[in-house]
């Protein structure tokens, strides 16, 4: 009986570890982006071995122009690419994460040069913007997240 319980436990843990990524955006992630009362930016460093993590002590609240510009860009479903994204991410690069917070939810986005990964309600998501909006996001990072990118 004990061996059966251990086998079942290993099966459940393995199944959860191999959970597939979900595609961005979803109706719920768009709702959080659009309705976020608080939006924070933070630095993170890309890694080949682990999912990125939120830098708790480096969260910086965005001012209204930065917040509103980002919410307009990421909150519009038409700005998101639908399809497969094949991208090689360099390791050890400083990038920007964004936390969108509503009364009931948190959406954490990790924005690198080509893609956006996210955590929402305990699940991993991935996606990217259409090509004509990638430069808008790059400009947003240069303008509003310069401190996080430069590490100062």
Give the lowest-confidence range in 1-15, 34-48, 57-71, 135-149.
Answer: 1-15
Q: Is residue 39 part of a domain?
A: yes
Q: DSSP letter at 55?
A: -
Burial of 106 (0-12, 13-18, 19+ CB in 10 A): middle
Q: Is residue 12 part of a domain?
A: no
* Mean pLDDT over each residue of the chain, to the nearest integer: 83
Q: Pick the closest to residue 112 from 48, 19, 29, 32 (CA basis).
A: 48
Q: Is residue 4 part of a domain?
A: no
Contact indicator for 85, 126 with CB cutoff of 8 Å: yes
Share of the chain above pLDDT 90, in %: 61
E strands in 6-74 = 22-23, 38-45, 60-61
pLDDT band at 70 (very low <50, low <70, confident <90, very high): very high
Q: Please, what is the Cα angle at 106 between 19 and 114, to 5 degrees?
A: 65
Which has more confidence, 75 or 21? 75
What's the confidence (pLDDT) of residue 16? Answer: 40
- Global pTM? 0.81
Q: Which domain holds residue 66?
A: 21-150
Joined together, the tokens standing for residue 63 give 């001012």
The enclosing domain of 111 has a CATH number of 3.30.1490
pLDDT band at 88 (very low <50, low <70, confident <90, very high): low
Q: Is residue 133 part of a domain?
A: yes
Q: Is residue 80 part of a domain?
A: yes
Give the lowest-confidence range in 2-6, 18-22, 63-67, 99-103.
Answer: 2-6
The position carrying tokens 């910086």 is 60
Q: Is residue 95 part of a domain?
A: yes
For the chain, the domain total comes to 1
User: CA gyration radius for the chain?
Assistant: 17
Q: Is residue 16 part of a domain?
A: no
Per-residue pLDDT for 83 more than 90?
no
Q: Pick the closest to residue 137 from 66, 39, 86, 85 (CA basis).
A: 66
Q: DSSP letter at 145?
A: S
Q: Is residue 5 part of a domain?
A: no
């Amino acid at each position: 009986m004990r061996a059966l319980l251990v086998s079942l436990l290993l099966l459940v843990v393995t199944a959860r570890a191999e959970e597939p990524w979900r595609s961005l955006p979803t109706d719920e992630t768009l709702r959080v982006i659009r309705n976020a009362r608080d939006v924070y930016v933070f630095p993170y460093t890309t890694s080949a071995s682990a999912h990125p993590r939120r830098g708790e002590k480096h969260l910086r609240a965005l001012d209204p122009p930065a917040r509103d510009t980002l919410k307009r860009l990421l909150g519009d479903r038409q700005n998101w690419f639908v399809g497969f994204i094949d991208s090689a991410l360099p390791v050890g690069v400083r990038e920007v994460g964004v936390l969108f917070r509503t009364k009931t939810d948190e959406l954490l986005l990790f924005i690198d040069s080509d893609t956006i990964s996210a955590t929402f309600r305990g699940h991993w998501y991935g996606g990217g913007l259409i090509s004509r909006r990638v430069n808008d996001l790059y400009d947003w990072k240069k303008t509003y997240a310069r401190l996080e990118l430069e590490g100062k």
